[in-house]
Amino acid sequence: MFGSEPDALLQKSLGRLPQVLCARNLRHDIDDLVKPILPARPAVVFDHNTGEALGERICRALKAVPVLLAGNPAADMETVDYVRREAAECAGLVAVGGGTINDICKYASFADGKPYVVFPTAASMNGYLSANASIAVEGYKTTLPARMPEAVFCDLSVIAGAPVRLSRSGLGDSLARPTAQADWLLSHLLLGTAYDETPFALLKPFEPHLFENARGIGKGDMESIEALMKVLLLSGLGMTIAGGSYPASQGEHMVAHAMEMLSARHSREGGNPGSFHGEEIGVTTLAVSKRQEALLRKKPTLLPLQFPTEILEKLWEKKAMEEADQTYKIKLARIIENDLDSRLRGNDGWWESIAARIESIMLPSASIQAILKAADAPGTPEALGWDMGAYATAMNYARFLRDRFTFLDLE
């Protein structure tokens, strides 16, 4: 699947492995691929774009029940319920699409205890092989437990034919590996939280090739897209192995999430420029990477630990901030328990040895910048059309939104 070493590692870590196939053209094999997994008549879920690219063809080949999601579908509970109703008579689901349709089908099939397979139509994000689904519940984006698909079938000619912004977005999400690893390792070394190298060992044979060929991503080159797809699939498996998004989502995702929450309010008040998740992650990864480098070169101290309720409730919904306060308490307890403030102020060389270990797994921010540039991907908040005041707020306050200790907690 990914080569003998990664496959052996995956087998050892996960036991049950989904079937993964990447080929230049899967069109003639659809029936042979899906039937052994979903022998009864399945439902095929697609939207207008993915239906045209692949979904309608799959539906015909399998003589399946079509479930067309109208307009620009969102990964929310209403759409999940719609898919569950439309597929009620079917024993399994076939998702044809990118992040949104994958999340909808992943959660719908999990909720009904049905198997599902996915035909990705874009190399835009790393959730195809993760076990969680990101679904909006009553307007709040929520990470819900779900299950991996039985199989992922990648038709590379379809994926390479997707709008190039989607592949750039996948590259942006992949670039978060070094910043996320640095944050995850920091928390482990400072606070004794869990940490596992396996997700990174899986990516090691593929990541350099992807980053060296970033230019091809911007041009929709088939070989570069294949490398990207493999990195994204392995990144998802890494999250499944880690039992959470830890190896792929830390400070850089927290800033983007904070920004998204600010923009949600901003857009209700009139207009907000649209950008894809991975485009945002490319930008926040570069910013967070620069911050990590600066902090590793000095002797950092903790930022004020007090949860600034009043300020945060002005920025975000009160209900969300009450939840964030509870989550933040977990992190705060760890910081106090480990007497982190005085340990960081000590002169015993503790920080220096930690900094050296973290530096060894990082990618220089200059390289991250060069990779984004080579792919013609946005590299600055301005390029995303972000409001700079809101962006500064997100950088400062994102650290209060989760229990993860990251470089955002240091100054």
Q: Minimal distance in Å, beta carbon 173 to Zn ion?
A: 4
Stretch that binds Zn ion, among 73-81, 140-148, 170-178, 338-346 (CB under 5 A): 170-178
- Judged by CB under 5 A, the stretch of 62-70, 165-173, 257-265, 339-347 that binds Zn ion is 165-173
Output the residue with the shortest Cβ distance to Zn ion: 173
Structure tokens at 230: 């493999």
Specify the residue, 155 or 252, whose C-beta has the smaller distance to Zn ion: 252
Phi/psi at 151 (5° precision) = -160, 150
The gap from C-alpha 16 to its chain's centroid, in whole angstroms, comes to 22
Binding piece for Zn ion, criterion CB under 5 A, among 34-42, 169-177, 316-324, 400-408: 169-177
Query: Which range touches Zn ion (CB under 5 A), out of 138-146, 167-175, 210-218, 381-389?
Result: 167-175
Q: How many residues bind Zn ion (CB under 5 A)?
A: 1
Q: Restricting to residues 319-348, name those near Zn ion by CB under 5 A.
A: none
Query: Which residue reads 């939207």 in tokens?
Result: 47
Binding to Zn ion by residue 252, rule CB under 5 A? no
Stretch that binds Zn ion, among 34-42, 100-108, 168-176, 389-397 (CB under 5 A): 168-176
Give the residue with the Cβ less far from Zn ion, 190 or 258: 258
Minimum distance, C-beta of residue 214 to Zn ion, in the bound complex (Å): 17
Q: Binding to Zn ion (CB under 5 A): which residues in 214-243?
A: none
Q: What is the closest distance, in whole angstroms, from the C-beta atom of residue 170 to Zn ion in the complex?
A: 10
Q: Is the CB of 155 or the CB of 173 nearer to Zn ion?
A: 173
Nearest residue (CB) to Zn ion, 171 versus 295: 171
Closest separation between CB of residue 253 and Zn ion, Å? 6
Nearest to 324 by CA among 257, 391, 276: 257
Give the shortest CB-221-to-Zn ion separation in angstroms.
23
Name the minimum Å distance from CB 296 to Zn ion: 23
Long-range contacts of 222-228 (CB under 8 A, 24+ apart): 222/24, 222/156, 222/157, 222/160, 225/123, 225/156, 225/159, 225/160, 225/167, 226/22, 226/156, 228/123, 228/167, 228/170, 228/171, 228/174
173 binds Zn ion, rule: CB under 5 A: yes
Q: For the CB of residue 280, give the shortest distance to Zn ion in the complex, in Å.
A: 9
Q: Of 62-70, 172-180, 221-229, 327-335, which part binds Zn ion (CB under 5 A)?
A: 172-180
Nearest distance in Å: CB 172, Zn ion: 8
What is the CA angle 286-261-218, rounded to 5?
40
Q: Rounded to an integer, what distance in angstroms lies between the CA atom of residue 56 and that of residue 42?
A: 13
Interface residues toward Zn ion, by CB under 5 A:
173
